[in-house]
Amino acid sequence: DQQVKQNSPSLSVQEGRISILNCDYTNSMFDYFLWYKKYPAEGPTFLISISSIKDKNEDGRFTVFLNKSAKHLSLHIVPSQPGDSAVYFCALSTGTASKLTFGTGTRLQVTL
Amino acid sequence: DTAVSQTPKYLVTQMGNDKSIKCEQNLGHDTMYWYKQDSKKFLKIMFSYNNKELIINETVPNRFSPKSPDKAHLNLHINSLELGDSAVYFCASSRTDGYYEQYFGPGTRLTVT
């Protein structure tokens, strides 16, 4: 029973264009939402997060959008750069210092 | 000045053996975690410790025993290794005062033959 799904296993985007990664969840108890980036043979690296009281958070080229009614989270990267090529995981939490429930991951490839 | 470190990075062993993976964080965090990434690339929580006390145990077989000698260290000992234990194991740490972000180590790839 996968509570958190990223329905696109892979995504290819041209350099300079926008990358949009999506994440859907089923449990309405999740109240904090994070995005992680993972390169091969490395651990996940925290990118950006948003709490359930907001619907948008922006940090440089990265913006996270939250639609609580649709139970949908998205990450926008603009402009996309070749160094953004990695696997992106959404991760959801139900409380402070609680476990993270990870999505299935989306492999982003940014082409020249 | 690595924030979360794990040793070893690679571990190849035979079925039935006992092995340990060590984790250390120098971030001053109070909570540490072990996650398992299986062959399908799913990342799942196994254990969580807060100030050396177990707070999350996600129905992991008893063959897995975490040990936290102090709040900067969380080791994972696995007894009687099975083929299905082959995976990448990640250690992570976080603060507990309202901060949700967890910081991950580089992972230990365990291969059981």
Read off the pLDDT of residues A52-94 as tens digits, 9 standing for 90 and up. Answer: 999 999 999 999 999 999 999 999 999 999 999 999 999 998 8
How distant, in Å, are the alpha carbons of B29, B39, B57 from that of A35? 20, 21, 24
**Contact status of B105 with chain A (Cβ, < 8 Å):** yes
Give the CATH number of the domain where residue B81 resides.
2.60.40.10
A26: nearest Cα among A7, A8, A5, A6: A5
What DSSP line would sit under A56-103, residue for residue? EEEETTEEEEEETTTTEEEEEESS--GGG-EEEEEEEESSTT-PEEE-
Domain limits for position B64 = 4-112
The widest CA-to-CA distance across chain B, in whole angstroms, is 42
Dihedral sign (CA A62, A68, A69, A73): positive
pLDDT at residue number B20: 97
Q: Give the residue numbers in A contacting B (CB under 8 Å), as ranges.
A: 32, 34, 36, 41-46, 49, 87, 89, 93, 96-102, 104-105
A91: nearest Cα among A40, A50, A42, A43: A50
Query: What CATH number was assigned to the domain covering residues A4-111?
Result: 2.60.40.10
Using the structure block, give the residue that is written with the tokens 């250390």: B24
Give B95's contacts in chain A (Cβ within 8 Å).
97
How distant, in Å, are the alpha carbons of A109, B6, B34 from that of A87? 9, 21, 20
Q: What is the domain count for chain B? A: 1
Of B44, B90, B103, the CB nearest to A46: B103
List, for residues A6-52, the tens digit of each pLDDT value: 999 999 999 999 999 999 999 888 989 999 999 998 999 999 999 99
pLDDT at residue number A94: 83
Token couple for A63: 């913006």
Of B56, B98, B107, the CB nearest to A96: B98
Amino acid (1-letter code) at residue B42: F
Compare B107 and B51 and report the one with higher pLDDT. B107
Token couple for B79: 């007894």
**Residue in A closest to B33 by C-alpha:** A99
Task: Please say if the pLDDT value at position B39 is more than 90.
Answer: no
Token couple for A93: 């939490």
A vs B, Cβ pairs < 8 A, gives 58
Dihedral sign (CA B97, A49, B36, A81): negative
Gap from A99 CA to chain B (nearest CA, Å): 6
Token couple for B37: 């990434």
How distant, in Å, are the alpha carbons of A5, A70, A78, A97 from that of A27? 11, 11, 29, 18
Compare B2 and A12 and report the one with higher pLDDT. A12
List, for residues B77-89, the tens digit of each pLDDT value: 999 999 999 999 9
